[in-house]
Structure 1
Amino acid sequence: MSAGTAPVTLDRREGPFGEVVLRERGDDFEIIANGCFLMDTSDGRSERLLIDAALAALPAGRTAPAVLIGGLGVGFSLVRAAGEERWGRIVVVEREQAIVDWHRQGPLDRISGPALADPRTEIVQEDLVAHLLTTTERYDALCLDIDNGPDWTVTEDNGSLYSAAGLAVCKERLTPGGVLAVWSAQPSSAFEQSMRYAGFSAVRTEEVAVARGVPDVVHLALRTH
């Protein structure tokens, strides 16, 4: 983040899930939802790790795996997936019309434009929890980044995603051997245990090294049957 630079609000929208704001701070963009800082473009290592770790965890020999990315955000995860030729179908589920607009015809196009134009990419404008409950499709990887983590959700309804019932739905949406990857702004041993209770295997956490403070992490687990 550009230290010492005052943010400039580029757009502010009121939607069915509350307020969402796009700000520019120096060379970086920030997304704020209901007054809660979500993400910015200053780093992106953990968003890229979300995609890379999921691909690396898939069984060897799986060709053109399909990935669902939960949350478009500033576009780093989508760009990472589109930059990897091994991925097949890339589905991004984003509930906020404003965020989709900022990428399609707004300032964030400079980040995600080529990835959105990739023929493998599909944007589904829908609440992620609702989508997982209603779709019948299965994916080889679910890469979810819609909150600041299982213990710090943007809206109360999102909490159901990390519950036993929500994890059961995630498991159902995965192919056998598929990977669940969940981004978090801090490690959560309780969520790791919830993943195990839900029947996932090979549960582990990958951290992004930081100079100080709590690291961003990606929680990973496999559906083995």
Structure 2
Amino acid sequence: MDLINLSDLIDIAEENKYTVEYIEKDYFLTVLLYFLKDIDGLYFKGGTALNKIFLNQKRLSEDLDFTTKLEISELKKIIGKIVAENKPFFIKEEYDKQLNDFIRIKIYYKSFFSTSSYIWLDFNRRPTLLLEPEKYVLPNFYSLDFQITTLNKKELFAEKLCATITRNQPRDYFDLYFILKNDSIDLKLTEKKLLSADKKLDFNMIFKNANKIYSRWKDDISKLTNYNLGYIECIKFLDSKLRK
């Protein structure tokens, strides 16, 4: 695989109405997923998986999340090998946080604009898979044709609802809005996921910290999307869907 050239990145950014810096990060995210696609025991998940595979890329992302059955030591070897064998794309990896069942890795890529651009990767051994993972084609702007093993769609949707209930991230609200625009979420599955984390299915938690979400909405969302979804429109829609 050859490294994309800057003029092509600029064309893609202009065509899709994103800044070229964020399209560049999305490109290296996609390349990294390509190199990870054949690793057994690795299951792509999170907002990046949702938006790339199921939400028609409503927003870009800055990180990659995986549930895994692999040992942390094995993951470090895999990532180290990918970086070492693909120097046209990546510079180095750093281990930011490591526990027995979790590791966060920072991978620096060869940006046209900065010497310190990087991607976060989270690998988590803790979650229990409730449904069988599936392989999906990964749509992208760069003509890279491949599939990747991903959490089952229903489980991915349920995890997003769990995240919206248990943390205060504008991106979760944004993603949940577009899920519920065209689909539904299995609430029994969501309850099971929450129970495993000693949490309850309480929609009021989504709206409890609304002011915090509002204050961070523009800074967190606007740089990652070309969709003009305002906070008020989003929260009213979620209220109509979840507290009806």
Decide: shared fold, TM above 0.5: no
Query: TM-score, normalization: structure 1?
Result: 0.31
Q: Which has the higher contact order (CA 8 A, sep 6+)?
A: 2
Structure with the higher fraction of residues in strand conformation: 1
Structure with the higher fraction of residues in helix conformation: 2
